[in-house]
Amino acid sequence: MRELSVTLALTLLSGSLSVQAAAQLNAFDNETPIHAPANAEAVRKIPAGFHFIEPGTLTVATSATNSPPLALLGSDNVTRTGSDPDIARLLADSLGLKLKLVPASWEEWPLGISAGRYDVAMFNIAVTEERKKKFDFATYRADNHAFSVKTESPVTSINSPAEIAGKRIIVASGTNQERILLSWDQQNRAKGLPPVQPVYLMDDASATLYLLSGRADALFGPHSIAAWKVASRGQTRLVGKGPFRAWVAVTTKKGNGLAEALQTALNGVITGGEYEKVLQRWGEQDEAVTRSVVNPPGIVY
């Protein structure tokens, strides 16, 4: 938690960088796959006798929602694109495997990994100490959580617990954002401040409609998604951040030995430049990591 805490000044600066990057991009311009060469060292680190869900294939659970820049449907309305599918492709290439993307909901990935339906999950998953009890992680981005409002909203700042008091805030259930929101609300209630009103929505399109129609005061979600909306649509603006900068990681079953191979594959594409190309075209340069780490210190609530 100490390593993940950042000052508001730094997080606001990183937010402005993401918006500027996303403003120059269009999702449909990013459909040409970026590939990486096979990484012999990463292949050697696949545990002997490891059984992939499908032989010769890396099966990756990724978001079924249209949430650019992380994940969305391509122009053919079938192909999954976005920064998470792009990184997944680099991993499969590096490990000498085919890639199979399986669209899933946020609620499905933990059970799907534990039950052996997916080799890995890539859902903008942040490392927490609680999740590390069941899963292994190889980091590939550092993300913030952002509060956004519609452009004409009177709300100008949400950077502290007191600023959520009495507000209707959209948040997804089971996420770090929800944990932060409820923790801040608990602090407010102890001080006699009005309670927050969480609005639980998982679908990004519905969340945006709720916000723009005035049925909610703010939306609390991944920074990269919020920044992309601001730049590409002009209907919303960022007004603040959560208290943590979180390590986003490829997630796999605890103890299966695959995390080290994933880490080596990620470090290979970081060195090779393919990783940078992905982040640049999705406006996520400010979330880049210089190297992947297995099971770093996670958020503690």
Beta-ladder partners of 47: none
Instruction: Give 218-267 pLDDT, tens digit per residue.
Output: 999 999 999 888 888 889 999 999 998 889 999 999 999 999 999 999 99
Picking from 102, 119, 218, 127, the residue whose alpha carbon sits closest to that of residue 171 is: 218
User: How much is the pTM?
Assistant: 0.83
User: What pLDDT, on the 0 to 100 scale, is given for residue 2?
Assistant: 32
- Residue scoring higher pLDDT (22 or 56): 56
67 belongs to a structural domain: yes
184 shares a domain with 40: no
Query: What is the domain-level CATH number for residue 180?
Result: 3.40.190.10
Mean pLDDT on 154-180: 96
134 shares a domain with 29: yes
**Is residue 186 scored above 90 in pLDDT?**
yes
Overall number of domains in the chain: 2
DSSP one-letter string for 170-236: EE-TTSHHHHHHHHHHHHHHHTTPPPPEEEE---HHHHHHHHHTTS-SEEEEEHHHHHHHHHHH-SE
259 shares a domain with 126: yes
8 belongs to a structural domain: no
Residue 144 confidence class, pLDDT cut points 50, 70, 90: confident
Instruction: Give 99-126 pLDDT, tens digit per residue.
Output: 999 999 999 999 999 999 999 999 999 9
251 shares a domain with 137: yes
Residue 204 confidence class, pLDDT cut points 50, 70, 90: confident
Chain Cα centroid distance, residue 64:
13
294 belongs to a structural domain: no
Q: Of 209, 244, 279, which residue sits at a domain end?
A: 244
Report the half-sphere exposure of 168 (CA within 13 A, side-chain side). Answer: 13
267 shares a domain with 172: no
Return mean pLDDT, the chain: 90
18 belongs to a structural domain: no
**Is residue 23 scored above 50 in pLDDT?**
no
User: What pLDDT, on the 0 to 100 scale, is given for residue 15?
Assistant: 41
Mean pLDDT on 2-30: 45
Q: Of the given ranges (54-58, 86-90, 118-122, 245-249), which has the lowest mean pLDDT?
A: 245-249
202 shares a domain with 117: no
User: What pLDDT, on the 0 to 100 scale, is given for residue 12?
Assistant: 34
53 shares a domain with 115: yes
**Is residue 4 scored above 90 in pLDDT?**
no
139 shares a domain with 91: yes
User: What pLDDT, on the 0 to 100 scale, is given for residue 25?
Assistant: 56
134 shares a domain with 28: yes
151 shares a domain with 83: no
Residue 82 one-letter amino acid? G
User: What pLDDT, on the 0 to 100 scale, is given for residue 216?
Assistant: 98
Residue 20 confidence class, pLDDT cut points 50, 70, 90: very low
258 belongs to a structural domain: yes
- Residue 181's domain comprises 144-244
